Amino acid sequence: MANYNLAVIGAGPGGYVSAIRATQLGMKTVIVEKEFWGGVCLNVGCIPSKCLLEDTHLLYELNNSAERGIKTKGLEVRWEEIQMRKEKVVKQFTEGVQFLLKKNGVDMKIGSARFVDSGRLKIISPAEHEAEVSADFFLIATGGRPAELPHIKIDHEFVIDSTDALSLKEIPKKLLIIGAGAIGLELGSVYARLGSEVVNVEIMPECLPGTDKEIAGALRRELEKQGLKIHLDSKVDEVQMKGKGLTVKVSGKFNGEISADKVLLSVGRVPNTENLGLERAGVNVEKRGFILVNENFQTSSPNIYAIGDVIGGKQLAHKASYEGECAVEIMAGHKPYLHRPIAGVVYTSPEVASVGLSEDEAKEKGLNIKVGKFLFRANGRALSMNAPAGLAKVIANRDTDEVIGVHILGPYAGELIAEAVMAMTLGASLEEYQLAVRAHPTLSEALREASLSSEKRAIHKVD
């Protein structure tokens, strides 16, 4: 039986980053992966979906370029070639992960891992061969999978999940999406640009639950202009086969039937914690299956840690990576975990990016806040890009002058949010945020104007 300092279960963004950091710290490390080197994110999540979003955004831009003096005709969508490019990018990334693990001296095992006890793992290979390893520490980073609904059965042909939606053989004429969160809106955008009639049905009163409501509402209106139909405060009661298609019964604010060729179930994600033998290792989980951890990512078994989607909270790849690095540092007796602002991005067009508290969350906490906004239609760079939709929003604590939230709906919002993350990580005051001189003409100028607007000092708008 091989012995290690650390055994990592799962080779997604949380697991493989943790394994590499552990070897850098001098820990003898093994990583066990059941299916995907690079995890869901690199294989059937973040990376392939962004390929489809980028390619179809280019199509949308070309189809709407006449007002910019660029007239196109005869555009042809070669769906098979779009899929091939996506697979090529995925292959490049996953091979890169394996290369990095090998070069850093991480032992790589393919198979399913199960705890024998709190000090040993059984690894069952795809060929059903069994082996055991022991370790001083264990890190569970097994991620999550698409959630299901008890009354709607996924058959992966007519009723599909997000993984299926990335590799459809044909572009559906009518696509109904249950859910209007990040994944539902991103995939809805992809197929709407390809010519599908897309309908999102969302049970909550606004799309992107958990996002600043003003930003979410503004995005919804932009997507509706692009052809998506979004029914809020509504739920899908039943999906029936009718001829060669589907009939979807919906109740709530929208009440009626909707026909579709495909139904995509996109109602969040659940943790992969079954069949790990957690009970044999003394690891406690809550009723939804999430592993319970303390502030240092330790489970109820002190030498076993867990990070990422399996512990709940924001289910983001970069959050899992950061948590993994912190957990390994703690195991090695180095730096304690430090809370950092974690941004979220939705890659629609325009993009949404947020970090920190929303306006409603700040008010619910009883904070005395000041809020500034600036529309991209007053930003020179955005106008030159023909991307005037959206706004930047900066929220500060009036009592401490600390920047506590930044929310962006606009072009390249996912890149712009990095400056806000840096400012909040360093504990910047609103005054310091205002004093940073941005280049002209750039999109980042909108963030400074928004911060100035919170004190009615904006230059390029009338407050």
Mind telling me the catalytic residues? 440
Burial class (CB in 10 A: 0-12, 13-18, 19+), 40: buried
The two structure tokens encoding residue 12: 């997604």
Task: State how far the Cα of 437 lies from the Cα of 413, in Å rounded to an integer.
Answer: 19
Q: For residue 75, how far is the Cα from the chain centroid? A: 31
Cα–Cα separations (whole angstroms), residue 157 to 185, 190, 193, 261: 20, 19, 22, 10
The two structure tokens encoding residue 201: 């049905």
The two structure tokens encoding residue 294: 């303390």
Task: State how far the Cα of 264 lies from the Cα of 178, in Å rounded to an integer.
Answer: 6
Give me the residue label for tokens 């076993």: 304
Query: Do residues 305 and 141 touch, judged by C-beta distance below 8 A?
Result: no
Q: What one-character-per-residue DSSP string does 380-444 give? A: HHHHHTT----EEEEEEETTT-BEEEEEEEETTHHHHHHHHHHHHHTT-BHHHHHHSPPPSS-TT
Give me the residue label for tokens 């932009």: 222
Give me the residue label for tokens 């010519």: 195
Q: How many helices (H) and strands (E) does the chain have?
A: 13, 22
DSSP state of 281: G
Angle (CA) 200-44-147 rounded to 5° is 50
Query: Do residues 323 and 339 touch, judged by C-beta distance below 8 A?
Result: no
Task: State how far the Cα of 73 lies from the Cα of 301, in Å rounded to an integer.
Answer: 63
Residue 317 half-sphere exposure, CB side, CA atoms within 13 Å?
A: 16
Cα–Cα separations (whole angstroms), residue 415 to 187, 343, 353: 20, 11, 9
Residue 229, beta-bridge partner list: 199
